């Protein structure tokens, strides 16, 4: 658990956030507290993708899929709002590590734990498929280990089991190394695809490595389709079932009902996790208790009368955030407070404090939104590096036509007996044109990719990115001017009848126009950076 930062909200829907649990490409996960005191895990979508209508549809589908599951082996959904300005999803919090973390940190699971893992995940998949869904992303990081058994989470890419509408041909969906061959080839993935992924997860739990090794995504996808899994160290009946799950053809894999029966017959019922993993769960539970103890007390905690068993006197009991009720001593006889002078036109001091507290809370909750507004303002106009294509397109055209231009310059040398230094620079030292253009293109791509992360990085990184945008425009303008000067100098050394490459007639005027308006663009960029 990590403390909240200045960019994190303090409240999502009715839930108060306590800590940050993790972050992925789609959103952040927080530890939260419901108004009734229940601890929840809140998945909050990144603001920059919340406006994508397609993503909102997928998120709403995830909520419906997760809510339709009520069986064992899955984490229940408690609340969600896919229509909110920033969509969110609240589930029960499980103070247990992911299977990936447990195996990497403490080694492969023993045989007894492997059978319990097998049985629990098979039952979870039976419930998923019974609800007419296909999970499509069964992997070690989507399996949580609890004292009661394994839990399957994250239905972000779950689909209807028929797959007739929601699965497009040629679309690869899943996690490389654990997806099925039909997913790797972009074909329709049915319940058998989850069985294949289950076999890969079991192999990882037994050996500490994926059955198809590591490497790039392309290498993993190729091995998934064409290579047999590496099940060295996975033997006996467990290894045989895992091997059957990893069959290349969906029809050769066993049905989930058969796996439930086979694994259930060998799985025990007592404690199943090795001691180091149990210790990790206990540590997480302790962190949760500490988080509850450190949680600031709500303003205006509700007080209710509690009867003392000895004297029957009534005392005030304040309910704290950790659920412990603290008895206060019986109240004394009420005293009439002295009158307080109130200045005309000014509210009492208590109201002043209340208003100040409300303003502070509003400012705290609005901070992330001000950050998003600032980033949105910064990334408009010149903040979009792709606008640099206006300069880069003619530069690339000048490069393409430059080969023919240099050839013509060699065939029609300068009429002067002593060529100038500019001529030597333009004709003989032309190597600089290529690295300059490549660096400009690379800078444009990097800045454009990083621009999408600005709402999730530290404010200092945003300022660094702003300075990078300014340098990018300066380098772009300078590079364009150099290329224009190069073309002009080379052409001056050729007779008129030598002609010019056709690309030059288009690229040169565009580059000149760009160079003419560049000072205004540069000034606007500097002003925008100053505001950041």
Q: How far is CA 12 from CA 5, 64, 92, 321, in A?
A: 15, 20, 15, 18
**How many CB atoms are closer than 10 A to CB 79?**
17
Q: How many CA atoms lie within 13 A of 423 on its CB side?
A: 15
Residues in Cβ contact with 259 at an 8 Å cutoff, skipping those fewer than 6 apart: 118, 122, 125, 195, 198, 241, 245
Q: How far, CA to CA in Å, does 488 sit from each of 402, 483, 512?
A: 11, 9, 11
Active-site entry in 8, 101, 137, 493: 137
CA 32 to chain centre: 19
Whether the Cβ atoms of residue 20 and residue 40 lie closer than 8 Å to each other: no
137 as an active site residue: the answer is yes
Sheet (strand 303-307) strand order: 303-307, 314-319, 325-327
Question: Is there a contact between 100 and 178 (Cβ–Cβ < 8 Å)?
Answer: no
C-alpha dist (Å) from residue 421 to 416, 418, 426, 427, 489:
12, 9, 9, 10, 11
Q: Which two tokens stand for residue 415?
A: 């009429």
Q: Which residue has the tokens 């709402």?
A: 455
The catalytic site residues sit at 137
């Amino acid at each position: 658990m990590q403390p909240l930062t200045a960019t994190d909200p303090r409240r999502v829907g009715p839930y108060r956030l306590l800590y940050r649990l993790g972050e992925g490409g789609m959103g952040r996960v927080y530890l939260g507290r419901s108004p009734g005191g229940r601890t929840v895990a809140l998945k909050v979508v990144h603001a920059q993708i919340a406006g994508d209508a397609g993503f909102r549809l997928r998120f709403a589908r995830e909520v419906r899929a997760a809510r339709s599951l009520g069986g064992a082996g899955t984490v229940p959904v408690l609340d969600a709002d896919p229509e909110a300005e920033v969509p969110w999803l609240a589930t029960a919090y499980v103070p247990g590590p992911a299977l990936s973390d447990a195996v990497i940190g403490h080694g492969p699971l023993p045989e007894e734990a492997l059978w319990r893992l097998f049985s629990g995940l098979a039952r979870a998949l039976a419930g998923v498929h019974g609800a007419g869904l296909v999970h499509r992303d069964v992997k070690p990081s989507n399996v949580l280990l609890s004292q009661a058994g394994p839990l399957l989470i994250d239905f972000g890419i779950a689909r209807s089991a028929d797959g007739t509408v929601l699965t497009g041909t040629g679309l690869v969906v899943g996690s490389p190394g654990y997806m099925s061959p039909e997913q790797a080839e972009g074909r329709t993935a049915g319940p058998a695809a989850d069985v294949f992924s289950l076999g890969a997860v079991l192999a990882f739990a037994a050996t500490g490595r994926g059955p198809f090794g590591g490497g790039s995504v392309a290498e993993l996808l190729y091995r998934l389709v064409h290579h047999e899994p590496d099940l060295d160290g996975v033997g006996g009946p467990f290894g045989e079932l895992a091997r059957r799950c990893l069959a290349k053809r969906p029809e050769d894999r066993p049905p989930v009902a058969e796996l439930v029966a086979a694994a259930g017959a060998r799985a025990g019922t007592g404690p199943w996790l090795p001691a180091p993993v149990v210790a990790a769960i206990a540590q997480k539970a302790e962190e949760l208790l500490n988080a509850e103890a450190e949680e600031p007390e709500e303003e205006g905690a509700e007080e209710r009368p509690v009867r003392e068993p000895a004297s029957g006197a009534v005392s005030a009991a304040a309910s704290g955030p950790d659920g412990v009720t603290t008895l206060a001593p019986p109240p004394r006889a009420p005293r009439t407070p002295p009158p307080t002078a109130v200045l005309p036109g000014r509210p009492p001091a208590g109201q002043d404090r209340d208003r100040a507290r409300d303003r502070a809370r509003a400012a705290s909750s609005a901070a992330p939104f001000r950050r998003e507004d600032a980033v949105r303002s910064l990334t408009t106009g010149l903040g979009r590096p792709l606008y640099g294509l206006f300069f880069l397109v003619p530069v690339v055209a000048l490069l393409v036509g430059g080969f023919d231009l240099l050839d013509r310059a060699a065939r029609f040398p300068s009429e002067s007996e002593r060529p100038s230094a500019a001529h030597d620079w333009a004709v003989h030292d032309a190597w600089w044109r290529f690295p300059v253009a490549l660096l400009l293109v690379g800078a444009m791509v990097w800045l454009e990719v990083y621009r999408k992360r600005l709402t999730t990085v530290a404010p200092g990184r945003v300022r660094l990115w702003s300075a990078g945008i300014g340098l990018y425009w300066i380098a772009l303008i300078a590079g364009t001017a150099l290329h224009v000067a190069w073309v002009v100098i080379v052409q001056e050394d050729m007779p008129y009848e030598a002609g010019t490459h056709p690309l030059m007639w288009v690229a040169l005027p565009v580059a000149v126009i760009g160079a003419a308006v560049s000072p205004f663009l540069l000034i606007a960029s500097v002003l925008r950076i100053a505001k950041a």
